[in-house]
Amino acid sequence: MDEIAVARKLAATRWHYPEVDPDALARLQQRIAGAGRRQDLITYSDLVRGVTFYLPNVNDGKPFEIDVSEWRDLDRAIIGEFLGYISMLSFREAGFMASALAVEKAEMKPSVHFFRWMRELGALPDTKEETVLAFWLDQVKKAHAWFKAHSKT
């Protein structure tokens, strides 16, 4: 992986949601960090459950929560952007994609969108199953090590 090229692509990404809702961003970051400190993963539903979003360009700017029993495409786009932004921050600070800790409940691995985005960034050389698995496990290992080393407890 060309880390400089990946960092440039991350920095050039235009974000629609995370930069306008710092409170939701902080809550999601805390939950991912908590999973990392516990050497665990977190499902997308557990990540967003109970988080109130205040996005001026969604729901007429009124606060809302994502209904985890009925995910909409917009919900996936919103959480995908927040996770992408969190990964941009963790990659810039420590060289790993923190969103690798967020997984689908059914398969206990990130969604296909995560791996597609990693490929677009140039972080993932191909989408062969063994490459994808090795990349993801490496990111999880790095995230667990970093969050454990930077635990506030």
Is the distance from CB of 110 to CB of 116 less than 8 angstroms?
no
Is the distance from CB of 44 to CB of 104 less than 8 angstroms?
yes
- Residue 9 CA, chain-centre distance (Å), reads 16
Both tokens of 25, joined, read 């961003």
Whole-number percent of the chain with pLDDT over 70? 99
Predicted local distance difference test score (pLDDT) of residue 151: 80
- Band the pLDDT of 138: cuts 50, 70, 90: very high
Whole-number percent of the chain with pLDDT over 90? 93
* Cα(18)–Cα(142) distance, integer angstroms: 23
- Band the pLDDT of 2: cuts 50, 70, 90: confident
Is the distance from CB of 87 to CB of 98 less than 8 angstroms?
yes
* Cross-strand pairs, 102: 42
Predicted local distance difference test score (pLDDT) of residue 153: 54
- Identify the three-state secondary structure at position 119: helix
In this prediction the pTM is 0.94
Which tens digits make up the pLDDT trace of 59-107?
999 999 999 999 999 999 999 999 999 999 999 999 999 999 999 999 9
Which tens digits make up the pLDDT trace of 101-137?
999 999 999 999 999 999 999 999 998 999 999 999 9
